[in-house]
Each structure stands twice: as structure tokens, then as C-alpha cells.
Amino acid sequence: MNCNIAVIKGDGIGPEVVSEAMKVLDAVGVKYGHTFNYEQLLMGGCSIDVHGVPLTDEAVARAKAADAVLLGSIGGNTSTSPWYKLPPEKRPEAGLLKIRKELGLFANLRPAFLYNELKGACPLKEEIADKGFDMMIMRELTGGLYFGARETKELDGVLTAVDTLTYNENEIRRIAIKGFDIAMKRRKKVTSVDKANVLDSSRLWRKIVEEVAKDYPEVTYEHMLVDNCAMQLVKDPAQFDVVLTENMFGDILSDEASMITGSIGMLASASLNETKFGMYEPSGGSAPDIAGQNKANPIATILSAAMMLRYTFDMDKEADAIEAAVQQVLVENYRTCDIVSEGTELVSCSQMGDLIAARV
Ligand code: NAD
């Protein structure tokens, strides 16, 4: 297969970790007979330095023309970088918001997986960590409270702020369909999370999820209130497969789920639109404190590339091969600085990429 990938390395550790992901993709290409064509685009601080804006319209058009986008991370040190003296719409993060909007990326996927070898970093009790967990938090990304009308005004001399939480049935249906589709590629269970005991938007959410579920008889599904889900994530995370939820609940629950895995350098993510198109990136930021030192953990980006193979290109066995290679280097006790512990071997970012590529 011939795959056209827009590559946005970005700032900080972005170029280092994305180069390792490309190395691993190329190893997949050789083994399975695919060609990955890369077009490199600028976004974030590096684009500000060259073009004066964090993302040009031309870069957006080129990203749209690709099959998928592989992104590193953008931004610099928010206290010292000159990029943060610019007005908000000119700062690096404005590029990220613009590309998400332009590409219509409404579904955000964040896997939370506990590697046996990294259980020591899990902050949960040993008997809970011992059971392990492997879930996908699926968050609606372009609707709900963060996109509704808001204002702050004085009412009878009292300052009053209003935020609006709106969802229509189409927005709910398209994310629910994605959620059930993804469950079909996993353990076929969906937990839909809402606050239907209080919110109208959640009651509509529940109704539409039930309608969509009828088209997926192989998938078991349940509804869970968000407050209960927050508790269950730390009490019994092994029960979850796909956790399907709206924007704000997903924002909070996905951070909680990442926290219990114990390492930001291991966490992949994907944002999808209605087609197979997606943007794939590590969950962490540009880590300016370690940038340029060949120290960053490239695994989150490498696993994001595996998600790209699985969800955009339908290459399940190739994605499995990358995930197995990552598991293998951990079993062999290789670690980057963020996950190193006694009895394991410290390797650099590029060495980690070499090790994984060699095991694909
Ligand atoms: P960060 O995720 O960049 O770093 C937090 C800590 O985690 C740091 O100590 C860093 O060294 C470490 N870390 C992160 N990724 C790592 C990796 N792959 N390997 C090893 N260690 C890793 O968060 P921050 O310091 O709050 O933000 C730094 C910059 O990144 C800011 O400009 C912020 O706006 C930006 N940011 C960008 C994105 C994105 O591009 N999607 C996301 C979050 C933050």
C-alpha cells in the first residue's frame, strides 16, 4: 500500500520523537511491503519563526491532502520563549486549535494501557495494578461545554458567568458510531459515560447511544454516570474497554486514565474525523527541559504511528507488530530516562527507536 503522511515534527522534542516513529514506520514498510511517503510541514513555534504565524493556510491544505497527519508536539517554555509574548492567536497552540478545527477532528482517542514491566510506576494499589488494564478513552472533541455560547455579565449588580452545554443528535451519533466501530476492533465493550440523572444533554446522549448500539449486536454496552466512572477508574480500571463520553467529561477522565499508567512518555493519541483520516500524536507536550538532548521517550509517538496504521490504513497486523516490538524492548529491560529504574538499561531516544524498529 502507498500511504501519504503529512509529518509535523513541531518544537522541542517533537523532531526527535517523530524521527524515531518514521524509522519504525519504515521498518514496517520494508517488512510488509508498504511505502510511506512523508511530507514535512511546519506548525507551532518553528512556523512562527519562518512564516510569522503558527500554521499557514498552505500547510492546512497540504495536511488535508494527505491520508493522515503524524504530529510531534508544539510550543516552548511558556515563561521564557519569545513565542509567548505574542498575542494568543499568534502563539504556537493557536496552530493546534486551527488544524483540529480545519480537519474536522471530532473524535479523540487516548489509550491507557498498563505495561506489566512498568507496573511499579502505577500509583494504584498493587492488587489493582496487578490485574492490569487496557482501555480506550473516546472523547467528543468539538462540541459541548467548551464550544457553547458563554458570557460574563452583571445581573442586578452581581457578576454572573454563563457557559452553555449543547449537543445535537448528529454530533452524538457520529462519535457513538466511531466508539462502537473501535470497540469492534478491540474487546467489544462500550461504557458510555454521562450525567443523565441531571443533564438533558446527557439524556439525549444516552438515547442516541442506545439507537447506535442496535447496529452493533456483538458489542456489549453499558451506561455509567461520570462521577461513578471517575471512581471506577481508580478502583477497578480492568473493567473498561472503550469509554465513550462527551467533551468535558472526556477531558477529565482521559487525564485520570493517563495518570494511572504512570508515564506520559508512553501515551499515544489519535483524533479522527468522519472518514478514515486522522491526526496522530503523543499525549505529552514538547518537553523543552529535555529537548535537543536525545533523551526523550519516543514510545508515545511510535504507538501513535501504530494507531495511524490501525485506524487510518486498516493495517491491524502491522500495528500489532509495532505494539509487540514496544512490549519486547520493555521485556528486554531497555528504558529511556523517564521510565528507567534499578536493574534496567538506560537508552537514548534514537537508540530506543533503533531497538523497536529492529523488533518489528
Ligand atoms: P510536557 O508534557 O511537555 O512536559 C511535562 C514533563 O514531562 C516534563 O518534565 C517533560 O520532560 C516530561 N516529558 C514529556 N514528554 C516526555 C517524553 N516523551 N519523554 C520523556 N519525558 C517527557 O508539558 P509542559 O512542560 O507543561 O509543556 C511544555 C510545552 O508543551 C508547552 O509549550 C505546552 O504548551 C506544550 N504542550 C504541547 C502539547 C501538544 O503539542 N499537543 C500538549 C501539551 C503541552
For residues 2-10, give the mean pLDDT: 98
Distance CA 106, CA 108 (A): 7
State which of 17, 70, 74 you would mutate to test the pocket of ligand 1, scoring each by most atoms of that ligand within 8 A of its C-beta.
Answer: 74
What Å distances lie between residue 202 and 165, 168, 350, CA to CA? 10, 11, 46
Domains in the chain and their CATH numbers?
A: 1-106+275-360 (3.40.718.10), 123-260 (3.40.718.10)
Mutate to test the pocket of ligand 1, among 42, 286, 303, 338 (most ligand atoms within 8 A of CB): 286
Among 124, 276, 135, 269, CA closest to 193: 135
Q: Which pLDDT tens digit goes with each residue over 57-82? A: 999 999 999 999 999 999 999 999 99
Ligand 1 pocket, residue 285 CB under 6 Å: yes
Nearest to 115 by CA among 323, 338, 351: 323
Residues 26-52 have pLDDT tens digits of 999 999 999 999 999 999 999 999 999
What pTM was computed for the model? 0.92
Give the mean model confidence (pLDDT) for residues 87-94: 92
Q: Is the CB of 16 under 6 A from ligand 1?
A: no
Residue 88 has pLDDT above 90, yes or no: no
Closest CA to 283 of 260, 254, 240, 242: 254
Catalytic position from the list 227, 289, 316, 320 = 227
